[in-house]
Structure 1
Amino acid sequence: MVRILWPALVLTVGAGMARAELNSLFPRADASPETATRASLFAPDARMGFFAPLPDRIAPTSVAPIIVAPIIGTGTAAVDRLLSLIARAEAGSAGYDAVQHGARVRPVRLPTQMTLGEIYQWIDDTPGQPHAIGRYQFIPPTLRRVANVRGFGPDTPFTAGVQDALALVLLEDAGLSQFKASALGRRQFMHNLARIWAGLPLPNGRSYYEGYAGNSATMSWVAFSGGMERIWPVGG
């Protein structure tokens, strides 16, 4: 697998645990967490029991922990623009501080001001409600899995850079490296993305998880395919 090396977030490793050292480049005022108005959630891992089993989920690829993580996903690089396109479907204007609107008991602080351990504690303390959180609306089993892949422990701040690093694991699950190497077609890559992020549409305009746990596509296929073509022009 090709390692993706980005300069803006450096992790130090100690006692077997990597610790993120970058805070958001765009700090927010101290306030209650914003609420994501979207119904979409990350497709859950059926083995964790968060939802009932789902059919035909793509199997995660093996991704080794990477020592450097990506820059904030609001830049102009192709992967940053893809992250922003996904975030548009998942979190809307709430961005990195989004909390799924169905959560009756929300975190007491903005998600970007919490550590992963504090988020896990909030999840454990508030059973029976949705817990999708952050710019990419991570649900608990997904959050724990990708944090483990990255080597992020409970003391890791849930900053913008950390959220982007976690989302990159899922982009690789969808076949990002294969797509960039022309070993995976655009349409199949988009289909794979829609199987991970429920807010993204299939060609029929519906979510892969349409109607499941309140999920629906939050952008049109035209917007999704047009956004992808602007990022990676056909023949470019």
Structure 2
Amino acid sequence: MIFERCVVTIFLLALMAVGARAQVSPLIGGADRMPLVQINRASDPLKSNGSSLFIGQSGGSLFAPYPTRHKAPIGGILGQYASSEARLLQLIASAEAGPDGYDAVQHGASKRPAKRPTDMTIGEIYDWIVATPGQPHAIGRYQFIPDTLRRLVGQAGYTRQTQFTPAVQDQLAEILLNDAGLAVFRAGSINRHAFMNNLAKIWAGLPTSSGKSFYHGYAGNHATMTWARYDAEMSQIYPG
């Protein structure tokens, strides 16, 4: 009887030990074990849940997105400051396009478009760029280069079917005037020379206050007028 009671006792103790081990979480994870830290996959920022560590993703982000670049109102600048900004664009064109004006194509382009730029659609200009790699593609009165042209077209809301008319070119150039700080210059927050230097960072034909193009020597660029002439012209357009 005593022996049987001992066997039963040992058996019950063994069962209790097994049950106790089943309730203990392991300290080392394994393929069939739970880890020390339970990961909530729904809140994991590296999973596709609408959150992102990077700019430009939908949903929440640890970094703010780039500020929205608002579309310039069509005719907004030239309509508001017609005489001054029209003269400024004429000055820029004299440094960039020469006598060909709105139909100018960068002289280094050995394979020119089949039509005059003003007779082309924006889509035809894009096709010409793709079909003639390895050469300059600056085009129009303001010598838009491909990346800049694509950005401006998107901002203005134009399409491949839009014709590259003088009016369209002027409206694209308006956006660049805004980029250079026209509004803050008009408000008196920057002076004329600062605005002139900003313009020179956009158009390689214009000199900076150093007397050289901001892009001097890059892809053959150089200022096509002196700082003295640039300053004199700007002082007449924007006296005081």
Shared fold (TM-score, shorter chain, > 0.5): yes
- What is the CA RMSD across the aligned residues, in angstroms? 2.1
Structure 1 residues without counterparts, runs of 5 or longer: 1-59
* Residue aligning to 1:122: 128
1:108 and 1:70 map into 2 onto residues whose CA distance is 33
Give 1:191 shift: 0.7
Deviation at 1:70, TM superposition (A): 6.0
Task: Answer whether contact 2:211 2:226 (CA < 8 A) is retained.
Answer: yes
Q: Secondary structure at the match of 1:196?
A: coil
| Equivalent residue runs for 1:49-88 within 5 Å | 62-69=68-75, 77-88=83-94
Residue from 175, 180, 187 that aligns with 2:186: 180
| Higher CA-based Rg | 2
Q: Does 1:191 align with 2:197?
A: yes
Change in Cα spacing, 1:231 to 1:140, as seen in structure 2 (3 Å) is same
Higher share of residues assigned strand: 1
How far is the alpha carbon of 1:66 from its aligned partner?
A: 4.0
Take 1:118 and 1:169, find their aligned partners in 2: how far apart are those partners?
22
Residue 163 of structure 1: which of 159, 162, 169 is its match?
A: 169
Match among 72, 93, 97 for residue 99 of structure 2:
93
Residue identity in the other structure for 1:85: L
TM-score of the superposed pair, with normalisation by structure 1: 0.70
Alignment-mate amino acid for residue 233 of structure 2: G
1:107 deviates by 0.4
The verdict on how the C-alpha distance between 1:70 and 1:158 changes in structure 2, with shifts beyond 3 A counting, is: farther
Q: Distance in 1 between matches of 2:77 and 2:167?
A: 6
Letter in 1 for 2:219: A
Matched, 1:141 2:147: yes
Give the TM-score taking structure 2 as reference length: 0.69
Distance 2:179 2:77 in 1: 19
For 1:29, the equivalent position in structure 2 comes to: none
Contact (CA 8 Å) 1:72, 1:160: kept in 2 or not?
Answer: no
Query: CA 1:214–1:116 in 2, change beyond 3 Å: closer, same or farther?
Result: same
Provide the rounded CA distance (Å) in 1 between the counterparts of 2:206 and 2:150.
22
Note the residue ranges of structure 2 that are not aligned, 5 or more in a row. 1-65
| 8 A Cα contact 1:71 1:161, kept in partner | no
Greater fraction helix: 2
Letter in 1 for 2:178: E
Q: Larger relative CO (CA 8 A, sep 6+): 1 or 2?
A: 1
1:70/1:233 Cα in 2 relative to 1: closer, same or farther (>3 Å)?
same
Is 1:87–1:135's contact at 8 Å kept on the other side of the alignment? yes
In the alignment of these two chains, the number of paired residues is 174
CA distance in 1, matches of 2:143, 2:106: 7
Amino acid at match of 1:177: A
Q: 1: distance between equivalents of 2:175 and 2:67?
A: 9
Q: Determine what percentage of the aligned residue pairs are the same residue.
A: 55
Contact 2:72 2:175 in 1 (8 A): no
Which AA in structure 1 matches 2:229?
A
One-letter amino acid of the structure 2 residue matched with residue 126 of structure 1: T
